[in-house]
Structure formats: structure tokens, C-alpha cells
Chain A
Amino acid sequence: MVNISRRADPKRGLIRLVKDIRRDGQLYVLLLIAVAFVILFKYAAYPGLRIAFMNYKPARGYAGSEWVGFDIFAKVFSDKDFTRALSNSLSFNFLDLAVGFPIPILLAILLNELRLKKFKRISQTILYLPHFLSWVIIASIALTLFKPETGLVNILLRNAGVIDQGIPFLTEKWHWAVTYLLIGVWQGMGWGSIIYLAAITGISAELYEAATVDGASRLRKIWHVTLPGIRPTMVTLLIMNLGRVMGSNFERLDSLGNVQVKPFQYQLAIYIYEKGLAGGNFSRATAVGLFQSLVGLLLVLAADRVAKKLGEDGLI
């Protein structure tokens, strides 16, 4: 009905549009301030992406550098460093997900089962803390704990007679991989549990009562009531996280990494920084960045589609 009347009188629609915009003029002004800001500091960077298709020389600028089509990408994809960085990024992100995804769920269930309210509140406060520390501080503390000679953990283990020589937690690549992953879990578990705790709060108390009447044990209640109750949250978060497997956290890698663990620390963020800003190969670093952004965007869009198909909220 509405459509028909609009089509019948386009002039009237236009007048209403103008009227609406007039009424909300102030709102548009506010909006345009934000939009202008984003255009100036974010969108204005997009044209810079063209150097992924140029042989860009900083000294010659955009105008003086020649276009080379997809040459840079061809070079990137045959670059051993790039393949290494890509496979490291993907492996570590999947490992992060495999270890880091279930832990917040377990933690939320544990916290929820806790009957001492005060203890619960205090432990929540403590467990959220690592999320608020910078990677520099986390890495510095890790260093004082895990150094082979002078780190507290190694000293204690040596004094207890468990080991003769310090464990190279941060200086041998396989040990580093484990330390890196566990520190990530440690940093994110408390914070990650908040969202699940909120979801658990939303589960109807009647379900638990009914389960109690049926004589369900605590574990059974967790299995048959709590877990199904937070399933939508789990699915949404899992899909969201899968959409992010192309990302890499420069600060976490940079602060925890060192020369000895380079083979594993060398991930996309490090590649882009070292080849680009540090090495001066702007075109190649931009091409890798563009590749990362594009794949990341596609993954997020796909994740959103899947989430909506499954009847969840979606992200966008």
C-alpha cells in the first residue's frame, strides 16, 4: 500500500525527505563530524593501497613510481618468508583457538557453580586483571619468571631438584610456542568468561529446578542445562573467532618474541613490519597487508552468513 501511494506521488516523498532531514539537521551535523574524521584518518589511507600494484620508491613518491600490475603479489606468493609467516600465523591462530576457546567456558561454569558469593566476586576481579595489562608488562613479567638462569620458576624447579638446567621457556622455539599459547590463554580467560557468565544468568531457573526434581546430579545439570543454555553464545563466538584467524597481534608477538624463537615468531604482522617499515620494501608489505585484510574481510562476512544461517544474531 505504502509503496503504491509513494509511486503515485514522488513529489510528496521528496518533500517529506527534505522535511525529515531539516528536522534532524543537528543530528546530521554531529554525524558528519565523525564521518569527516574517519574519512581523514582512515579512508584517506585506502588510496595508499595502490602501491601494492606499483614498484614504490619512497624517494620518488606515488607519481614517480611505476605501475607493475600484480607483479608484487606474484613475488610475495613465491617468497619463502611470506609462506612461512602465513603458515605460522594460521597455525598459531588455530592453536590459540583450540586452547583459548574452551577455557573461558569452563571457567564460567566453575564460577557459576561457586556458592560462596564473596569468593566468587573477588576471584572474578582477580581473573579479569590480566586483560588490562599491556603486552609489554606481561612479557616483562614473563621474562622475570621464565628466564633459564634467573627466572623464579626455574629457580624454584631447580631448588626442588626437578631439573638440573633451566627450562628455556622463552628462548627455545617449541617451549616458546607453549609458553606463548598459555600466556595468551591466561591473559584472556577471565575476560572471555564474562560473556558466558552473562549467558548462564539468562538460563531459566525452572530448568534447573526441573532437573533437580528429576534427580539430576550437578554434573548432569551442567551437561543438560547449562551447556545447552550457552550453546548459542558458544556458536557465535566460535564463528567470530574463526573469522579472525588471518589476524595477528603485533604487540603480543613483538613483546614475547626474541631472536632465538624467530622461526615461530615470524608471523604476518612481523613480516609486514620488518619488510615494510624496517626494511623499506613498502610495496611488498602493502601487498601482504592487503591480502590479509581482504581474506580477513571475506572470512568475517562468511562467518556472519554462517551465524545467521544457524539462527544466531550475526555480527554485522
Chain B
Amino acid sequence: MTSTTQISKRRAGMADWIIVIILTALCLTCVLPFVHVAAKSISSNTAVMAKSVALWPKGINIDAYRSIFRDGQLTHAMIYSVWMTILFTVIGLALTICAAYPLSRKRLRGRSLFALLLMFTLYFSAGLIPEYLLLKQLGLLNTMWALVLPLAFSPYNMLIMKTFFQSGIPDSLEEAAFLDGASNLTILTRIVLPLSKPIIATLCLFYAVGRWNAYADAKYYITRKALQPIQYLLSNMILSSGSDAISMSESAAVVSTPEVLQAAAIMFATVPILVLYPFVQKYFVQGVMIGAVKG
């Protein structure tokens, strides 16, 4: 008896080690690339050209970052992107609440019709050209609004919020307030929203990250350089400029080799996310859980 339990324990130990090794390896694939790019971005030109920088910087200097700040393009795009993302998130969240709360009330007449109307665009999109022509008609091409308004209402996020309102807010609470003479709007702002802080945080992040990362719409709708968000600028600087170059003003770029500059530019755009990520991560997971109920 004792011997069998011991064997099963030892076997479990082996399996545990294998699992830990596999997961550690996978985690390293997520971490090491950043370590490498970070190391490269603060290494000397000679060390990078000698291909001797792997995970530890050599000949430490921050010239590349100085160039980025002197050049100003990326810093400008960063500030602009932050501002645009905040605006986008506020508008998106407001619209989502406007739609999700009424649709979460089962008694509402015409509820399924409105739901269909709002969800339909998720399943059938007009496509790139008609949407482009629409923005052109509205006079929004080459304005920040072209990046804010078309994506501001996300049916998927609305669904998550609606599900939360339906399951997370007890009906009895609403009925009690109703009997006390509270209007729908009062109930929403005084009772429902304060109880929904977690889901609001989650959806804020969904909207913000979605906007922050996207660049296709900027490529479609924006040609003016001052209105390009940071992801698009980065794509132009690193991906479109040929494999070994980076487009930056001459005076700013002269100190570092393109490779070091590229690494610094990548880090410049990534560090804000890496810094915020550990703190906000749990809210995302929450969103997926609610979305999984029906999504």
C-alpha cells in the first residue's frame, strides 16, 4: 500500500517537472525577445555591429533614445496616441452603456429588434471601400475623428456589458428603486453603474488596448504625418523602410546605427504597455470570462 502511493507520488513529481519545464520554455519565448531588444537599444554601435549583443547590453549608452527625443516624431505620436485613445475609450464606453443597459432589461419592448440592429454590423461589414467613401463624404478623412468614430461602438463589448448587467445586477434592486419613484436614468447612474465598476474597468481596457494597437485604419484614412498614431509611425519607420534602415531626420539619427535605433524605437513604443500590463491584466481575464458566457 505504502509503496504504491510512493510510486504515484514520485511519478507525479516527474510529470510536474516536465510541465514546469515546458511552461518555463514557453514563458521565455514571451520574455527573452524583449530582453534582447532592450539590451540592443542601450548597447554601443560597435557591439551591435559585432553581433555580440544577446541578452545583456554591451557598451551601455542611451544615444539612441536621445535621438528619438531629439527627432520628436515618436514622442509627438505617443502623446497624440494617448490623447486619441482616451477620447476613443470615453466615447466607446458611453455608447456601450447607452446600448447595453436598455437591452439588458427584459421588459423593454422591441428589445430584440434593437439588439439585432446593433449587432448586425458585427456579422456583416460593408467593407473597406464603402467605409472609406463614407468617411470621405462625412469629411472625416485626414482627421483624428476617422480613427475615433467608426470603431467607437463595439457590438462585442456591448454584449459583454449587457451580459454583466443581466447577471450581475439583481432585478429586485431595480424594482425596489422603481417603487421608490426613481427614474430609469437615476437607477442607471446611482445603482447600476456604481455596481459595475469591474466591468467598466475591463471594457475601458478592451477599448483602449484595441485602439492603441490598431493601425490599419490609420493606413487607410490618414496621410497627414501629424495625425499618424504611434503604431502606424513605427510601422512606417521599421517595417516599410527596408530591412536595414529607419526613417528619422538626419541630424537626429546620425549617432546610432539603424539597428540600435530600431531597437530603441520598439522599446519606446512597447515600454508603456509592459509597465501597465501586470496591473491591468486581471481585468482582461475577467472580461473574457463574462464574454465566454455568450460571445
Contact = CB atoms under 8 A, between A and B. Distances in A.
What bracket does the count of chain A residues touching chain B fall in?
Answer: 35 or more
B247 to A, nearest CB: 14
Given A37-B95, A145-B36, A293 B124 contact: yes
Nearest to B286: A194
Contact of B126 (A46, A132, A135): A46
A150 interface: yes
Among B29, B125, B185, B285, the one with the most A-chain Cβ atoms within 10 Å of its Cβ is B125
Given A51-B129, A276-B129, A293-B127, A218 B12 contact: yes
Say whether chain B's binding surface is mostly helix, strand, loop, or mixed. Answer: helix
Contacts of B105: 24, 27
Contacts of A116: 16, 20
B239 A255 contact: yes
B34 A141 contact: yes
A35 B102 contact: no
Interface residues of B, number: 94
B170 interface: no
Nearest to A20: B109
Contact of A276 (B97, B128, B269): B128
A219 to B, nearest CB: 8
Given A24-B108, A195-B292, A198-B292, A136 B239 contact: yes
Among B129, B273, B294, B295, the one with the most A-chain Cβ atoms within 10 Å of its Cβ is B129
A147 B34 CA distance: 16
Interface stretch (A78-86, A92-100, A123-131, A173-181): A123-131
Among A45, A111, A135, A141, the one with the most B-chain Cβ atoms within 10 Å of its Cβ is A45
Nearest to A129: B30
B33 interface: yes
A300 interface: yes
Given A137-B270, A282-B129, A38 B209 contact: no
Nearest to B243: A147
A195 B294 CA distance: 12
Interface string B73-105: 000000000000000000000011111011101
B78 to A, nearest CB: 13
Say whether chain A's binding surface is mostly helix, strand, loop, or mixed. Answer: helix
B183 interface: yes
A141 B98 contact: no
B281 A37 contact: no
Given A217-B8, A218-B11, 9 more contacts: A17-B109, A42-B121, A116-B20, A136-B231, A140-B262, A141-B266, A145-B36, A194-B285, A273-B220
> Would you list the 9 A-B pairs with minimal beta carbon distance, nearest first?
A289-B127, A48-B130, A134-B213, A34-B99, A45-B126, A27-B102, A26-B184, A30-B98, A45-B134
25 contacts: A24-B108, A24-B109, A30-B98, A38-B153, A49-B126, A111-B23, A113-B19, A114-B19, A119-B23, A128-B284, A129-B277, A135-B215, A136-B215, A136-B235, A140-B262, A144-B37, A144-B40, A147-B243, A194-B285, A194-B288, A251-B214, A251-B216, A255-B235, A258-B243, A276-B128
Interface of A: 17, 20-21, 24-28, 30-31, 33-35, 37-38, 41-49, 51, 107, 110-111, 113-116, 119, 122-123, 125-130, 132-137, 139-141, 143-145, 147, 150, 152, 155-156, 186, 189-191, 194-195, 198, 217-218, 233, 250-251, 254-255, 258, 272-273, 276-277, 282, 285-286, 289-290, 292-294, 296-297, 300, 313, 315-316
